A and B are shown apart, each in its own frame.
Chain A
Amino acid sequence: MKRLAGYYCFAIATLMLPLLFPDSYYVTVVGVTVCTNIVLAVSLNLLMGYAGQISLGHAAFFGLGAYSSAVLTIKYGMNPWLAMTAGVIAVTVLSYVLSRPILRLKGHYLAMATLGLGIIVHIFFVQADQFTGGPDGISGLPVLSILGYPIDSDLKWYWTFAIFMLASVLFSLNIAHSRSGRALAAVHGSEIAAQMLGVDTAKVKSHVFVFSAVLACITGSLFAHQQDFVSPESFSFFFSIELVTMVVLGGLGSTFGAVIGAILLSLLPEVLLVFEDFEVMIFGAILMVIMIFLPQGLFVAMEETFFRLLKRKSQGSADVTS
C-alpha cells in the first residue's frame, strides 16, 4: 500500500538493526531510549500536531506510568502486567477528568495549565517519599515477561520497545486518515467551522488527550521495567520541553516528523557527550534556529523540498517532450 510505504521501510530498518549489529551499544542501549522518545513524541504530536493543543506536561503521564509499575510491583508485590493495567486505568481516569476543564483553555492559558500539571505531578513524585522513594527514586522492579518469556536482556528489551514503538507509529499514521484524525485537524484548522459540521470539539479534544496520555503511560511502565529504576528526574518539566522540541523540530502534525525529531534529539546527547555541560544550551539553540529558519519543522521542510524538486523534474521532462 502506497500510504504506508515509508512506514514499511522504517519498520524494516528498525527490525534489521539488532540483526546486523546485535552487540552495538547504539542498538541495545541508545536504541531503547530512541524508541521510548519516539512513542512519546508521536503521542504528543497527536495532541499538539494533529489537534493543535499544546501540552507542556506530557512527561507527567510518562512518569505516572513508570511510578505505577514501580510502586505497585515493589511496594505491593503486584504482578507487573496488573500494575501496568492499574496505571493505565488511573491515567485514563485522571486525564479524562482533567481534559474537559484544561482543554477549554487556549494558547498561553493551555500552555500554563499543562505546565502546572507537569510540575504538580513531578513534585508529587519527589514529596510522596513513602511510596515513591522521594528524590532518590526506587529500584528493583521484577522482570517483565511476555507469555512466560522473561525480557531479561538488552536485546530483548530492544525488540519489545521496537515493536511497541512501531505499533504506536502505525496507530498515529492510521488516525491521520480517518474520521477522528480529520476531526482533530478540523479542531486545529477552525474550531467554529468544525462545530458547524457537527464535530463535538470538546469531546474530540478530550479523547485525543486521553489517548496520548495512555500511550505515554504504557511507555512509562515499560521504561520502569527496562531501567529497573525510577526517579523523579526522568519526568521533570525539562523532559516535557524536550518532547515538545522533538515534535516541533521534526514538524508539527507529521508523524514521521515526530519520529525524526525524536531520533535526532535522542542521538544528540551521544554526539555531544564531549560538551556535556552545554547540552541544554545546545538544545535551546537548536530550537531557536529551527523556529527562525524552518518554522514548519525539519522533516516537513525536507519533504516539501523533495516534492518540489520532483515536480520540477517531471515538469522539466514534460517540457522537453512537448
Chain B
Amino acid sequence: MSLLEARNLEKQFGGLKAISGLSFSVPENIIFSVIGPNGAGKTTLFNMLTSIYKPTSGSIFYKGNNITGMPPHKVAGLGITRTFQNLQVFLNMTALENVKVGCHMHSNSGLISAALRLPSVMKEEHRVRKMAMEVLEFCGLGDIADMPASALPYGILKKLEIARALAAQPDLLLMDEPAAGLNDTETMELCDLIVQICQSGITIILVEHNMSLVMEISHHVLVLNYGKLLAQGSPYEIQHNSKVISAYLGGE
C-alpha cells in the first residue's frame, strides 16, 4: 500500500504554475527521490505535502486519508515531518534543546504544570532528555549536545535538523537538499545516515542535487521539470531516460 499519494497537484503563484498536474504515490519504507533543475518546483511540492502551502487544486492522501489543507502541526501529528533547504534550526537554543522540541508530540505537559514544576513535569523532562540524547547520539552529535546552535558550523546544523526531525518519530521524513553545502566526508556520513534512517522503518522523500548520492541510495526517482512530472522509475531507468538527459543537458 502506498504511504503517500498526490493526485493532480497544482500550485500557482500569480501567473506562474510552480507545480501542475502532478500525481505520484510513495510506497512505504523506501527512499523516494525527487530531482529536477533549479526552480522545478521541488521545494514547493514539499511545502504542499506538509501543508505550509495549500495546493491551488488537487489533493494529498496520507495513509488513505485526505490531508489537503490540514494545519501543518496536525500533518506533523500524523507522522510527517521535514528538514529545510534554508536551515530552520532554532538558533536561540542548544543542540539538545532543538532535539527536545522534536519530542514535543511525545510529551504533554502544559504551561501551568511547567510553571509549578509538578513531579509529572520533572519525570517528563527526564524522559525527554533521554530520548533526545539517544537521537543525537544516533546522528553522531552526542558530544555537541550542550553547545548553543548559533555556535555550530553549517555541516553540523544540517545534521542537527535531521536529528530534530527524527526525534518527532515520523513515519515519513521529507529532506530538502540535505547534502547542499556539505564537503565530501560529510556527504558520505549523510549518505549512511539516510540509509540507516530508512532501515529503521521511516519512509524518506529526498530532494537533492547531488546525483551520485541520489542514484546510490534511492529506490525510486521522480523527475520534475517546470513543475511537471518528466519521468519516474528506478535510478537505472532515470539515468538512461532520454527525456531526463536532454532536460538536464539542455538546462546546463
Q: Which residues of B contact A57 (CB under 8 A)?
A: none
Q: Which residue of B lies closest to A215 (CB)?
A: B115
Q: Do B90 and A185 touch across chains, with their CB atoms under 8 A apart?
A: yes
Q: Which residue of A lies closest to B81 (CB)?
A: A196
Q: Do B73 and A190 touch across chains, with their CB atoms under 8 A apart?
A: no
Q: Do B111 and A197 touch across chains, with their CB atoms under 8 A apart?
A: no
Stretch at the interface among A105-113, A171-179, A262-270: A171-179
Q: Do A179 and B128 touch across chains, with their CB atoms under 8 A apart?
A: yes
Does A37 lie at the interface of the complex (its beta carbon under 8 Å from any beta carbon of B)? Answer: no
Interface SS, A side:
helix
Q: Do A197 and B114 touch across chains, with their CB atoms under 8 A apart?
A: no
Q: A179-B109, A182-B100, A199-B101 are in contact. Are A188 and B117 (CB under 8 A)?
A: no
Q: A194-B101, A196-B72, A199-B101 are in contact. Are A189 and B110 (CB under 8 A)?
A: no
Q: Do A175 and B115 touch across chains, with their CB atoms under 8 A apart?
A: yes
Q: Which residue of A lies closest to B78 (CB)?
A: A198
Q: Do A196 and B82 touch across chains, with their CB atoms under 8 A apart?
A: yes
Please report which residues of chain B, range 178-212, place their CB below 8 angstroms from some CB of chain A when the two chains form the complex. none
Q: Report the minimum CB–CB distance from B175 to chain A (whole Å).
A: 12
Q: Which residues of B contact A181 (CB under 8 A)?
A: 114
Q: Do A174 and B90 touch across chains, with their CB atoms under 8 A apart?
A: no
Q: Which residue of B lies closest to A194 (CB)?
A: B101
Q: Do B117 and A186 touch across chains, with their CB atoms under 8 A apart?
A: no
Q: Do A198 and B76 touch across chains, with their CB atoms under 8 A apart?
A: yes
By the criterion of a CB under 8 Å from any partner CB, how many residues of chain A are at the interface?
A: 30
Does B65 lie at the interface of the complex (its beta carbon under 8 Å from any beta carbon of A)? Answer: no
Q: Which residues of B contact A194 (CB under 8 A)?
A: 73, 101
By the criterion of a CB under 8 Å from any partner CB, how many residues of chain B are at the interface?
A: 41
Q: Report the minimum CB–CB distance from A99 to chain B (whole Å).
A: 13
Does A208 lie at the interface of the complex (its beta carbon under 8 Å from any beta carbon of B)? Answer: yes
Q: A175-B111, A195-B76, A199-B101 are in contact. Are A185 and B82 (CB under 8 A)?
A: no
Does A225 lie at the interface of the complex (its beta carbon under 8 Å from any beta carbon of B)? Answer: no
Whole-angstrom distance between the alpha carbons of A200 and B165 in the complex? 16
Q: Do A180 and B111 touch across chains, with their CB atoms under 8 A apart?
A: yes
Q: Do B72 and A188 touch across chains, with their CB atoms under 8 A apart?
A: no
Q: Report the minimum CB–CB distance from B76 to chain A (whole Å).
A: 4
Q: A180-B109, A183-B101 are in contact. Are A190 and B114 (CB under 8 A)?
A: no
Does B125 lie at the interface of the complex (its beta carbon under 8 Å from any beta carbon of A)? Answer: yes
Q: Do B114 and A175 touch across chains, with their CB atoms under 8 A apart?
A: yes
Which single member of A182, A198, A208 contacts B168 (CB below 8 Å)?
A198
Q: Report the minimum CB–CB distance from B127 to chain A (whole Å).
A: 11
Q: Do A171 and B115 touch across chains, with their CB atoms under 8 A apart?
A: yes
Q: Do A186 and B111 touch across chains, with their CB atoms under 8 A apart?
A: no
Most chain B CB inside 10 Å of its own CB: which residue of A178, A195, A198: A198
Q: Do B73 and A198 touch across chains, with their CB atoms under 8 A apart?
A: yes
Q: Do A178 and B114 touch across chains, with their CB atoms under 8 A apart?
A: yes
Q: Report the minimum CB–CB distance from A245 to chain B (whole Å).
A: 21
Whole-angstrom distance between the alpha carbons of A41 and B148 in the complex? 25
Q: Do B92 and A196 touch across chains, with their CB atoms under 8 A apart?
A: no
Does A251 lie at the interface of the complex (its beta carbon under 8 Å from any beta carbon of B)? Answer: no
Does A236 lie at the interface of the complex (its beta carbon under 8 Å from any beta carbon of B)? Answer: no
Whole-angstrom distance between the alpha carbons of A183 and B50 in the complex? 19
Q: Do B117 and A174 touch across chains, with their CB atoms under 8 A apart?
A: yes
Does A87 lie at the interface of the complex (its beta carbon under 8 Å from any beta carbon of B)? Answer: no
Q: Do A182 and B111 touch across chains, with their CB atoms under 8 A apart?
A: no
Q: Which residues of A contact B84 (CB under 8 A)?
A: 192-193
Q: Do B93 and A180 touch across chains, with their CB atoms under 8 A apart?
A: no
Most chain A CB inside 10 Å of its own CB: which residue of B88, B105, B164: B88
Q: Report the minimum CB–CB distance from B91 to chain A (whole Å).
A: 6
Please report which residues of chain B, range 150-192, place their CB below 8 angstroms from some CB of chain A when the two chains form the complex. 164-165, 167-168
Binding site for B on A (CB under 8 A): 171-172, 174-175, 177-183, 185-186, 188-190, 192-201, 207-208, 211, 253
**What would be 15 A-B contacts, judged by CB atoms less than 8 Å apart?**
A174-B115, A175-B114, A178-B125, A179-B107, A179-B124, A182-B97, A182-B100, A189-B90, A190-B90, A195-B71, A195-B72, A197-B104, A197-B164, A198-B168, A199-B101
Binding site for A on B (CB under 8 A): 50, 52, 71-73, 76-77, 81-82, 84, 88-93, 97, 100-105, 107-112, 114-117, 121, 124-125, 128, 164-165, 167-168
Nearest 8 CB-CB pairs, A to B? Answer: A189-B90, A178-B114, A193-B88, A171-B115, A198-B105, A195-B72, A198-B76, A190-B88
